[in-house]
Amino acid sequence: MRKDKENAIKMRKAGKSYKEIRRELRIPLSTLSEWFSSQEWSKAIAERLRKEVQIASTARIIELDKIRGAHLKRVYEEAREEAREELETLKYNPMFIAGVMLYWGEGNKASRHNLMLSNSEPALIKFYVSFLTQTCGIPMEKVRGHVLIYPDHDEKLTRAFWAKSSGIPWDNFTKSTLIQGRHKVRRLTWGVCMVTVSSAYLKEKMLVWLKMLPGELMDKQYYANIATEAGMVQW
């Protein structure tokens, strides 16, 4: 066995991340993935590291609100680096893939500080909220709901519907907005629900994922890795 692989195995079994091994041994991430991605013991370490990173990320998201000035530039770079590192494992997570693709199609990309997504489909909104809280580690108290309604909607009834169907607490909804236009009666049964998270840290990560994930999903090696782990024939 080559010496660098032997050392890499020792470091991995000691609980080191690919990034830490790469930095010390100068072994490419692709090589480390080839060596360890199909090993059950390594998968367990990767899952533990992912949970630790998610907990730390959640803490940073909360603390970001207190950071101002020159420190923000450093924080944004940390967010981008964290996003790139997390993508190595999250890109095989179905909820992560679906959540990022959903934001790619329906989410707001212009705002630097907020993640905003609007839709009239209750199941879609519920899934997106689960993506934010379960995959991204966003505390529910940071998730805000807002409803766009027509003049003939009952505002409280409509808001109650979205609170129940989305899982966002009633108190997390802001005052609903009346849809102004030619139509005075509802064109959508329950109006439109907007979900917002005010987090520049997560927005930076989302922008990195939006840039990188489509390329990963179009790479044949991505599917070869899945096939190898599943014992399937590679294409």
CA distance linking residue 111 with residue 175, whole number of Å = 21
Alpha helix locations (H) across the chain? 3-13, 18-25, 29-36, 40-64, 71-90, 94-106, 122-130, 155-166, 200-217, 220-230
Count the Cβ atoms, other than its own, within 10 Å of residue 41: 11
For residue 29, the number of C-alpha atoms closer than 13 Å in the C-beta half-sphere is: 10
DSSP helix/strand/coil, 109: coil
Residue 226 in domain: no
Spatial CA neighbour of 127 closest among 160, 101, 91, 155: 101
> Which of 81, 15, 8 has the alpha carbon at shortest distance from 47?
15
Q: How far apart are CA 126 and CA 128, in angstroms?
A: 5
The 10s digit of each residue's pLDDT in 3-60 is 788 888 888 888 888 878 888 888 887 788 888 877 888 888 887 877 776 666 666 6
Decide if 64 is inside a domain.
no
Position 33 in a domain: no
What is the pLDDT at residue 4? 80
Report the alpha-carbon distance of residue 90 to residue 113 in Å, rounded. 23
Question: Which pLDDT band holds residue 62 (cuts at 50, 70, 90)?
Answer: low
Q: Is residue 115 part of a domain?
A: yes
CB neighbourhood size of 54 (10 A): 16
Reported as a pLDDT band with limits 50, 70 and 90, residue 79 is: confident
> Residue 167 sits in which domain range?
102-198
Query: In this structure, is residue 130 part of a structural domain?
Result: yes
User: pLDDT at position 233, please?
Assistant: 38
pLDDT score recorded for residue 174? 93
Indicate whether this model's pTM tops 0.75.
Answer: no
CA 196/CA 68 separation, integer angstroms: 21
In a domain, 35, yes or no: no
Confidence of residue 69 (pLDDT cuts 50, 70, 90): low
Would strands 114-119 and 192-198 be described as parallel, antiparallel, or unpaired? Answer: antiparallel
Number of domains making up the chain? 1
CA proximity to 84, closest of 16, 127, 130, 29: 29
* Residue 151 within any structural domain of the chain: yes
Residue 215: pLDDT band with limits 50, 70, 90: very high
DSSP state of 91: T
Q: What is the CATH number of the domain that holds 113?
A: 3.30.1330
Confidence of residue 68 (pLDDT cuts 50, 70, 90): low
Q: Are 170 and 159 in contact (CB under 8 A)?
A: yes
Starting from the edge strand earliest in sequence, which strands make up the sheet with 143-149, in order? 114-119, 192-198, 143-149, 177-178
**Token pair for residue 171?**
């108190």
- Write the single-letter amino acid at 47: E
The model's pLDDT over 90-109, given as tens digits with 9 standing for 90+, comes to 898 999 999 999 999 999 99
Domain membership flag for residue 176? yes
pLDDT at residue 72 above 70? Answer: no
